[in-house]
Amino acid sequence: MRMSETDGKYKLLESIGSPRDMKSLTPEQLRQLSSELRQFIIEVVSSNPGHFGASLGVVELTVALHHVFNAPYDQIIWDVGHQAYGHKILTGRRDVFHTNRKYGGISGFPKPSESEFDAFGVGHSSTSISAALGMAAGNDYKDEADRQVVAIIGDGALSGGIAYEALNNAGHAGKNLLVILNDNNISIDPSVGAMKDYLLDITASKSYNKVKNDVWNLLGLMNKITPHARSYAQKIENAIKSILLKQSNLFESLNFRYFGPVDGHDVLHLTEILKDMKDIPGPKLLHVITQKGKGFAMAEEHQTEFHAPGKFNIKTGEIIRKVPEGPQPPLYQDVFGETILELAKSNKKIIGITPAMPTGSSLKIMMDEMPERTYDVGIAEQHAVTFSAGLAVSGMIPFCNIYSSFMQRAYDQVIHDVAIQNLPVIFFLDRAGLVGSDGATHHGAYDLAFFRCIPGMTIASPLNEVEMRNMMYTAQLNPKGPMVIRYPRGRGETVDWKQPFSEIEIGKGQQLKDGSDMAILSLGPIGKEAAKAIESLEKEHISVAHFDMRFLKPLDNKLLKTIFSRFNKIITLEDASIVGGLGSAVIEYMNDNSYKAKVLRLGIPDRFVEHGTQEELYAECGFDANGIEAAARNLVHSKILTRAM
């Protein structure tokens, strides 16, 4: 939706071209701008899907930040970025906000190449404090003492280990830094862990909050009388916290000056607090209480569902779903969720683990029925892997489900804690390959490459839902070491997928179709694009054999020997980086065994791919059905080379 289509509903918002236009706004105008900004987000996202609830929850905080601070000179870093839609709208992207997450449009996350107001690129959680501290240190070095650095991090992201590392370092370094803790007791799913309980104790202490507010008001009067009011404030605040809270303040023990908790939906109070805190040197933390989905009833009541709801009715809140004409194949995540529960009922050793994605991974299906055998460990991928290793040592069979792009954060733990000890941890990599509108930060492009080089690692990718069930079944029969099963975002293709379990031979591929002119070797569900291309090529009398490799490691060397003995023109196909994946492995086999063939690798190119639908991105990268068809046609009609491409 463009401003020309709003019928004057957003008069004040229309006047804001950048944060500079907000500096002289009156208190009443700040309230009005907050109201218009919230409604604008609701209206646009209802028809152009994106991350919804998180941005509604920080509208007032966003307005206050850009009213008080001088961005982009002052650097504002949004952790993860789900909550940054208001920030984008107020920083010159209002009129293109309708392109958010669309192919060729603006990113759904803060991105420095898109705007100078996006101080740091984000997408994964818990990075903001580290980045902010680095910026503050750089500002010190450049003698820019007047430059403010602000990191906004949610309570869910605070469960990530890097956040604690940064707090520890920042408290010691003493740099001028403001951390705003956006506490809404949820990330995508409800927050878990002791930190959640600790923050709840602070926010729920009525005695502490009443006395704190009285002292705050008193100090407002004292500040007019004496310039030492703030030093008195710190002493009085510390005394209140020590007396009225059950435990000492964690943040102050890390040398942060703690302020709060305060109402995150009172834009005027936030503005005054932020103005005061600008003048306080050193590391500071402001604890802000917000409600995810604030201002839209259905989003307030159903926070997980309205994290990213898709299109919805702006009047009723009803999520608009396409009504299928008949039975639909399942989401791959649901194949995992339903199958792990089925297997767990017969194998008492299976334990499910996920780092803060029980709904997204569908582990929640098992969690609801077997809570004692499932663990949501919070946003803590490193911990999830080593926790799984500990379970394996205890004789359990851990099914550890982590999104492919998030697994990047736990690579050392996979090698050091699992692979070197050859522990039977089964990793399920959801959202492997190109994921669509979340873009470069979330594409699962690199797992094949970074897992293939680990000794003893088994790597599998099912062609369809039936094969995925069978791989899961096989993995838990008699696990000998670590194994990876990767699968994409979205739906499969088989409606009747709940077939009886069947063991799959580890390292064994399969021929799907015979042919005589060339061969396509695919790995995973992307093989269905190859099947479409092969069908079209047959109309041109081009005969293509199709092999589903199933396993990247160990490779089916017997099948490869047959392929290279018959074909001198080969395409490898993978929904993953072509650097180090299936194509690389096949060429290595060819070289090591002195075969000569022309091998063309199709997959994600050696660059960062931006956002769009999965279909648009497959086409861009040249491995949708049309791209495969064109590549095969060119290869068949080309001259044979005596070396690999």
Q: Mind telling me the catalytic residues?
A: 292, 381, 409
- What are the backbone dihedrals phi and psi of residue 262, each rounded to the nearest 5 degrees, phi first? -130, 160
E strand spans, 561-610: 569-577, 598-604
Amino acid, single-letter form, for residue 423: L
The residue among 218, 77, 80, 91 whose CA lies nearest residue 150 is: 77
Cα separation, 485 vs 384, in Å, equals: 17
Strand ranges of the sheet holding 177-183, from the earlier edge strand across to the other edge: 75-78, 149-154, 177-183, 283-289, 257-263
Structure tokens belonging to residue 182: 């956006």
446 in Cβ contact with 581 (< 8 Å): no
Residue 431 gets the label, from left (phi > 0), alpha (psi -120 to 50) or beta, of left
Task: Say which residues have a Cβ less than 8 Å from residue 416's Cβ, sequence separation at least 6.
Answer: none
Which residue, 257, 260, 249, is CA-closest to 287?
260
What is the distance between the alpha carbons of residues 463 and 549, in angstroms, rounded to a whole number? 9
Q: Would you give the DSSP letter of residue 313?
A: -
Q: How far is CA 13 from CA 283, 489, 621, in A?
A: 33, 36, 39
Residue found by looking up tokens 């008193």 in the block: 218
Q: Residue 432 and residue 471: Cα distance in Å, rounded?
A: 16
Question: Would you state the structure tokens that stand for residue 493, as one six-digit string?
Answer: 């293709």
CA atoms within 13 A on the CB side of 394: 11
* Residue 87 CA neighbour count, 13 Å, CB half: 31
> End-to-end distance of the chain based on CA atoms, in angstroms?
47
Kindly report each contact of residues 322-327 with a partner whose C-beta sits within 8 Å and lies 24 or more positions away, as own/partner.
327/495
In 3D space, the residue among 78, 317, 304 whose CA is nearest the CA of residue 185 turns out to be: 304
CA quadruple 46, 51, 57, 58: dihedral, nearest 10: -110
Q: Is the peptide bond before 462 cis (omega within 30 degrees of 0)?
A: no
Torsion sign across C-alpha atoms 462, 468, 472, 477: negative
Cα-flanking dihedrals φ and ψ of residue 132, to 5°?
-65, -40
Rounded Cα distance between 461 and 552, Å, is: 8
The pair of structure tokens assigned to 311 is 């299109």
Token output for 625: 């059905």
Take residue 410 and report the two structure tokens written for it.
């736990």
Q: What are phi and psi of 189, to 5 degrees?
A: -95, 165
